[in-house]
């Protein structure tokens, strides 16, 4: 989760991504509807990420002392991710207007961007289970403290497996996998939604059983 100031900082980075995409449309050649969609995949993925984190922060009702570690981690994750995606967008633009760049250099820079993103993502996933328990918001409240902690631990493990699979595809098929990464990223929140609904149902059933008993 992130606060309004962090969301605005990320919005500036996303606007720069859009500006780079528009510059590629102006200076690039042979753009088709398919390639135009690929130009805006990265800012779209960044906007989805920042929007979900900001919305989760708005729905949290706990005291500032408990929420601050969540905001600090969300700030690191959201801004770091947007910076990496901005570098990726800029590098894509450079490769598009300067196709003479050697392939080893393209792979090396792409690997550096993926590595930086991986460090940020894995740090975020590692810290999630260690954060304070929140009574409100999407990470607590309606699933209870027991299932809430289980949810966070399992969600972190799923996240590690999810992003390691993305990294492996980039290593094995770097040029073919790259356009599909922004489409794979939104699948991670989907896992969280499904898992949260599962634990929420179990928590509500237990609460109903205890109330009727």
Q: Is 59 inside any structural domain? A: yes
Please tell me the total count of domains within the chain.
1
State the pLDDT confidence band at 9, using cuts at 50, 70 and 90: very high
Q: What's the token pair of residue 155?
A: 């969600």
Dist. CA 140–CA 108, nearest whole Å: 41
pLDDT at 172: 66
In the chain, the percentage of residues whose pLDDT exceeds 70 is 73
Q: Is 10 inside any structural domain? A: yes
Q: Is 212 inside any structural domain? A: no
28 phi and psi, to 5 degrees? -80, 170
pTM: 0.73
pLDDT tens, residue by residue, 42-99: 888 888 888 877 877 665 655 566 778 888 888 888 898 899 888 888 888 888 777 7
In what helix (H) or strand (E) does residue 33 lie, and over which residues does it extend?
Answer: helix 33-39
Q: Which of 212, 213, 142, 155 is nearest to 188 (CA)?
A: 155
Q: Which domain holds residue 80?
A: 4-206
| Average confidence score pLDDT of the chain | 76
pLDDT tens, residue by residue, 103-114: 788 778 877 887
Q: Is 211 inside any structural domain? A: no
Give how far the C-alpha of residue 27 lies from the chain's centroid of Cα atoms, to the nearest Å. 29
Dist. CA 46–CA 21, nearest whole Å: 14
Count other C-beta atoms under 10 Å from residue 205's C-beta: 10
pLDDT tens, residue by residue, 171-190: 666 566 666 666 666 666 67
Count other C-beta atoms under 10 Å from residue 27's C-beta: 10
What letter does residue 59 receive in the DSSP assignment? T
Res. 140: pLDDT tops 50: no
Dist. CA 17–CA 34, nearest whole Å: 18
Q: Is 20 inside any structural domain? A: yes
């Amino acid at each position: 989760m992130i606060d309004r100031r962090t969301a605005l900082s990320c919005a500036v980075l996303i606007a720069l991504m859009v500006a780079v995409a528009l510059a590629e449309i102006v200076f690039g050649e042979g753009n088709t509807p398919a390639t135009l969609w690929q130009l805006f995949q990265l800012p779209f993925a960044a906007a989805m990420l920042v929007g979900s984190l900001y919305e989760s922060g708005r729905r949290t009702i706990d005291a500032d002392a408990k929420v601050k570690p969540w905001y600090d981690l969300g700030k690191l994750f959201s801004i770091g991710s947007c910076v990496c995606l901005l570098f990726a967008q800029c590098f894509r633009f450079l490769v598009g207007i300067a196709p003479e760049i050697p392939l080893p250099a393209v792979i090396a820079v792409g690997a550096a961007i993926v590595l930086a993103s991986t460090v940020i993502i894995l740090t975020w996933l590692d810290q999630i289970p260690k954060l304070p328990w929140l009574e409100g918001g999407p990470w607590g409240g309606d699933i209870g403290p027991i299932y809430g902690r289980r949810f966070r631990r399992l969600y972190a493990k799923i996240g590690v497996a999810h992003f390691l699979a993305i990294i492996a595809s980039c290593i094995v098929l770097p040029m073919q996998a790259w356009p599909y990464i922004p489409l794979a990223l939104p699948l991670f929140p989907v896992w969280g939604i499904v898992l949260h609904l599962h634990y929420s149902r179990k928590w509500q059933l237990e609460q109903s059983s205890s109330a009727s008993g």
